[in-house]
Structure 1
Amino acid sequence: MQSGQMTVELAVLVPVVIVVALIVGNLMEFVDACAAFDRLSLDEVIAEGVSPAGEQNVTASVAAVEDAIRAALGREGSCDVEVRTERVSAGEGESLLSVAPLLTRYTCTLVFRPWPRELRLPGITYSAPLELRHERTLVIDRYRPGVVV
């Protein structure tokens, strides 16, 4: 064994261990945020999307759902929430009347931004992806509580 071999091995190994620890930590935080988001998004769409407080229009319900999910998640720096809606209509060419003509599809998206964005250590560079996205979709009838498709 040569003198200083362990020091050189440690100097090479420590940056790799730090980067792997950051990746694992961010992955665990993303999985935790996704698990909470999956439960919260469906609950908030049913609670706020069907009967929003105040104005009874799609814009008000989208804002109410976004605000409720953000407040319930409580991850201000690393996570953001986007909600969009679209009307669900019967397929083209169908001659029958739709049973539920006012169905609305809510698509809730969790946007996760890993920390740190970029890390440079001797011999290794860690650059996080711009953002990770996770979506959850639910179709409801906005004017009849309890009608979930």
Structure 2
Amino acid sequence: MALFNPSRDEVRQFFFDAWAKSGQQQALTALERMAVDIMQLHPEYHHVLNAPERYLEQSYFPEMGETNPFLHMSLHLSVMEQVSINQPPGINAAYHTLWRKHGNEVEAQHILMECLAETIWQAQRQGGALDAEAYLANIQARATA
């Protein structure tokens, strides 16, 4: 799996810009449209998206129970991009199996996100590359459990 590595501020600005463009009914790129769809699934983040001057540099501390909305939405975007291009091969079918199983697209995406986060954590822990086979196997195991 190849990863694009934008800075924290670039990621946040992307979400702020796509949200603003959507609100102004401007044309969106395919990636921006996907991001806006994700943002619309999370109304609890709309106050953040509506105040870029306040949240561009906001720190989030998971150990204090804080969820980083930009990390959360980025993980959504990552897995949905993977589903859209079926990379790794089989993720699209597994995603749709999870969606049918749970009856909810967001829950299916959250399961993929958990698998992706675990795969990233394993790669960081082992100091190696992401293991696409293990990632897909984890997803498929969750889809068939």
TM range (shorter): under 0.3
Which structure has the higher relative contact order (CA within 8 Å, separation 6+)? 1
TM-score normalised by L of structure 2:
0.26
Larger Rg: 1
TM-score normalised by L of structure 1:
0.25
More strand by share: 1
